[in-house]
Amino acid sequence: MLKDDKFFWFKENRIVIPGVKREHVFMHLTDSHIDVVDKLSTEEEIEKYNYQHELWAKYKKVFADKFNEPYGEPQMITMLEAFEKMLALAEEMQPEALLLSGDNLDNMHPAGERYLVKRMAEYPGPFLAVPGNHEDPALPGVWDTGVRTLDYEGFRIAAVDDSRLTVSSEDLAALKALCDEGIPIIILCHAPFATPYCMEEMSKLDPYFYFTEESDDENAREFIRLCVSNDMIRAIICGHVHGYLKTEFAPGKPQIIGSQGHCGAVDIVTVAGE
Average pLDDT value for the chain: 96
Say how many residues make up the chain: 274
Across 208-231, average pLDDT = 97
User: Residue 230: which residues within 8 A CB-CB, separation 6 or more?
Assistant: 179
Domain range spanning residue 138?
Answer: 2-272
Task: For residues 60 and 9, give the distance between their C-alpha atoms in angstroms, rounded to a whole number.
Answer: 15
pLDDT of residue 57: 87
pLDDT of residue 85: 98
Domain total of the chain: 1
The backbone region for 96, taken as left when phi is positive above 0, alpha when psi lies in -120 to 50, beta otherwise, is alpha
The predicted-structure confidence for 249-268, as pLDDT tens digits, reads as follows 999 999 999 999 999 999 99
Query: Is the pLDDT confidence value at 1 over 80?
Result: no
pLDDT of residue 245: 97
Sheet-wide strand order for 127-129: 9-16, 265-272, 24-29, 98-100, 127-129
% pLDDT > 70, the chain: 100
Query: Is the pLDDT confidence value at 111 over 80?
Result: yes
CA-based nearest residue to 19, from 145, 148, 183: 183
Taking the mean position of all CA atoms in its chain, how far away is CA 135?
13
The predicted-structure confidence for 45-88, as pLDDT tens digits, reads as follows 999 999 998 999 899 999 999 999 999 999 999 999 999 999 99
Task: For residues 195 and 221, give the distance between their C-alpha atoms in angstroms, rounded to a whole number.
Answer: 10
pTM score > 0.85 for this model? Answer: yes
pLDDT of residue 211: 97
pLDDT of residue 3: 82
Task: For residues 142 and 126, give the distance between their C-alpha atoms in angstroms, rounded to a whole number.
Answer: 11
CATH number of the domain where residue 154 is located = 3.30.750.180
